[in-house]
Amino acid sequence: MTNTAVLTQHTFETIEWTPDGVVMIDQTRLPRETVFVTCRDYIEVADAIRNMIIRGAPAIGVAAAMGVAIGALQSDNLDADMPVICETLAKTRPTAVNLFWAIDRMKSVYASVRHLSLDQVRERLVTEAQKVRDEDIAINESIGRHGAPLVPDGKTVLTHCNAGALATAGFGTALGVIRAAVQAGKKIDVFADETRPFLQGTRLTAWELQRDGIETTIITDNMAGHFLKSGRIGCVVVGADRIAANGDVANKIGTYSVAVLAKENHVPFYVAAPISTLDLTLSSGDQIPIEERAAKEVTEVRGISIAPEGIKVANPAFDVTPNRYISGIITERGVATAPYTESLRRLAKNA
């Protein structure tokens, strides 16, 4: 993986297909440094997903699709190599279903074109990966359009983790709703939960929104209840990593606590996510696999240990919010409301 120049420009691409490889903004180094890495083979793409150089469910999906494409470009025997490439990428992170959705999509394109010449097959896979990215940009805009009317004017929006441009190929899901509300002229500001332990809120959401000139305040995760009770928060909007058929939502650890506190204080709690985040094969959120990450994400700050040597650590990266806490699920095809088993199934069919 190669680091390229430190940039200071205002626009950035989270992930791009280039002749040199798959280029990603390195999210582990933001906001201190804006560095782009080039993944030159599918193993490097898999490492980038696993190490969270790229993260956020839709962005992980785009990365996986591009990983399959770059793997295909470098293979002379796709029948033998495709299963290995797909398996390597699928083993990187278990919770965000967009990863598996993108790999399955690439597999089915492969199945439909494998009778063609090697060059033609490679070209089709590269085109498909770029299509996954381009579609994500359009999907973000539609999510924003559907979500913006739900955001109360003159209030603060609370968000958790980063469901923004960095987590997608476009302008975000939850942050896409916020951006669309601002574009529609609503006078809103944002509270960003810091999102321990990886600090996606402090490092990424705050960085993105500040660049856009959207007024943003960072709060530590344990302050959310205090502000939800204060009457200042008009709604909560978060993203999702996997949504079960009954509307239970897996998202960044801490989301569940925010949802319960929102309901207790009569603040609407919205989830913004593309249809590709639905996993209708799971009847409830209890079946969603929850990733456990390294202890040092909790015990270390920038490589310095802050915990007693040898202490036990739990580090689930996600939790599941039961559907009863969710006021609506904002997708590119409209807003699903309870009962979710019916509304989500209807939206999923409505291609």
The least CB distance from residue 167 to ligand MRU, in Å, is 3
Q: Which is nearer to ligand MRU, 167 or 180 (CB)?
A: 167
Contacting ligand MRU (CB under 6 A), which of 16, 23, 39, 55? 55
Q: Which residue has the tokens 């063609």?
A: 116
Residue 181 CB partners (closer than 8 Å, separation 6+): 147, 148, 151, 157, 188
Helix (H, G, I), strand (E, B), or coil: what is residue 334? strand
Q: Which is nearer to ligand MRU, 246 or 251 (CB)?
A: 251
**Stretch near ligand MRU under the rule CB under 6 A, chosen from 51-59, 109-117, 130-138, 142-150:** 51-59
- Residues 310 to 329 in contact with ligand MRU, rule: CB under 6 A: 317
Contacting ligand MRU (CB under 6 A), which of 58, 67, 197, 234? 58
Instruction: For the chain, state the CA radius of gyration.
Output: 20
Options 26, 193, 241, 319, the catalytic residue: 241
- Residues 197 to 216 in contact with ligand MRU, rule: CB under 6 A: 200
What are the two backbone dihedrals, phi and then psi, of residue 144, each rounded to the nearest 5 degrees?
-60, -45
Q: How far apart are CA 240 and CA 194, in angstroms?
A: 17
DSSP state of 114: T
DSSP H or E segment with residue 260: helix 255-264
Contacting ligand MRU (CB under 6 A), which of 53, 96, 148, 245? 96
Q: Is residue 104 flagged as an active site residue?
A: no
Residue 92 sits in the site that holds ligand MRU (CB under 6 A): no
Contacting ligand MRU (CB under 6 A), which of 133, 186, 203, 252? 252
CA atoms within 13 A on the CB side of 33: 11
Contacting ligand MRU (CB under 6 A), which of 15, 57, 249, 288? 57
The least CB distance from residue 111 to ligand MRU, in Å, is 28
Q: Which is nearer to ligand MRU, 168 or 202 (CB)?
A: 168
**Cis previous bond, 197, omega within 30:** yes
x/- contact string, 224-243, with ligand MRU (CB under 6 A)? --------------xxxx--
Q: What are the DSSP calls for 156-178, one per residue? A: EEEE-S--SGGGSSSS-SHHHHH
| CB-based contact 344:336 (threshold 8 Å) | yes
Query: Given the DSSP bridges, would you call strands 304-305 and 269-272 parallel, antiparallel or unpaired?
Result: unpaired
User: Residue 91: how many CB atoms within 10 A of its CB?
Assistant: 12
**Stretch near ligand MRU under the rule CB under 6 A, chosen from 40-48, 161-169, 224-232, 262-270:** 161-169
Chain contacts with ligand MRU (rule: CB under 6 A): 55-58, 96, 161, 163, 167-168, 173, 200, 238-241, 251-252, 317
Question: Residues with catalytic annotation?
Answer: 241
